[in-house]
């Protein structure tokens, strides 16, 4: 298995900043493991295949294949795909008190550093968790998440179109208030 580091460091610096990712990840080394890698230092294009695992601090991405590129002005884009029956998966600890995580999975994932968006295609799920609270979760065929605005765009087809009869999206929002413990409620007098 090959390990590849230098060209993808800027890409993962951008990914580590998304979704209010843990700031400590920015100072961690990046490790990319894969069966095959083609890296063009002139064009900034990197192609990876075969059990791709990208790890940097708390960020972990697993895919079957991918293409990563850097624009002339330094912005990164990544296209990651799953193999037959699999999914691209990612997970990263978020900054803030306690245990907060952002994780997701889909058949295909695209990341655009300039737009600060992550787009998930086909059988997509994205979750934000905090401590022992119920997670915020979105499920659908197409989910675009803008990390700057914390905004979800969901459509019922993998192309990003909204087509009647094509399917449904689901978003689960946890309660914003934490329920009082049952013992405290039992001691209240009317």
* Dist. CA 24–CA 185, nearest whole Å: 41
Tens place of pLDDT per residue across the chain (190 aa): 333 333 333 333 333 334 455 556 656 666 789 999 999 988 989 899 999 998 877 878 899 999 988 888 877 788 999 999 999 998 888 777 778 888 999 999 998 878 878 899 999 999 988 887 778 899 999 999 887 787 889 999 999 999 999 989 999 988 877 666 665 556 665 5
Strands 2-4 and 36-40: unpaired
- Domain containing residue 57: CATH number: 2.60.450.10
User: In the prediction, which pLDDT does 146 show?
Assistant: 83
* Dist. CA 107–CA 109, nearest whole Å: 7
Q: What is the domain extent for residue 90?
A: 2-186
Q: What is the count of structural domains for the chain?
A: 1
Strands 76-81 and 59-70: antiparallel
Q: What is the DSSP string of 59-103?
A: EEEEEEEEEEEE-TTS-EEEEEE--TT--EEEEEEBSSSS-EEEE
Q: Which residues contact 77 (CB under 8 A, 6 or more apart)?
A: 68, 69, 71, 110, 111, 112, 113, 114
Q: Which residues contact 133 (CB under 8 A, 6 or more apart)?
A: 174, 178
User: In the prediction, which pLDDT does 108 show?
Assistant: 96
Instruction: Answer yes or no: are the C-beta atoms of 15 and 9 closer than 8 Å.
Output: no
* Dist. CA 188–CA 178, nearest whole Å: 17
User: In the prediction, which pLDDT does 21 show?
Assistant: 56
């Amino acid at each position: 298995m090959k390990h590849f580091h230098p060209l993808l460091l800027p890409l993962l610096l951008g990914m580590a900043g998304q979704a209010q990712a843990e700031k400590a990840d920015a100072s961690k080394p990046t490790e990319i493991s894969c069966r095959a890698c083609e890296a063009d230092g002139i064009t900034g294009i990197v192609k990876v295949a075969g059990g791709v695992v990208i790890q940097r601090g708390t960020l972990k991405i697993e895919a079957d294949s991918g293409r990563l590129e850097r624009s002339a002005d330094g912005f990164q884009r990544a296209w990651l795909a799953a193999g037959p029956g699999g999914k691209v998966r990612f997970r990263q600890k978020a900054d803030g008190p306690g245990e907060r995580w952002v994780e997701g999975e889909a058949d295909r994932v695209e990341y655009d550093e300039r737009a600060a968006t992550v787009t998930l295609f086909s059988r997509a799920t994205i979750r934000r968790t905090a401590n022992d609270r119920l997670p915020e979760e979105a499920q659908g065929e197409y989910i675009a998440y803008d990390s700057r605005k914390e905004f979800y765009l969901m459509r019922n087809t993998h192309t990003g179109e909204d087509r009647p009869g094509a399917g449904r999206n689901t978003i689960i929002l946890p309660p914003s208030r934490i329920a009082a413990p049952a013992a405290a409620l039992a001691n209240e007098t009317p």
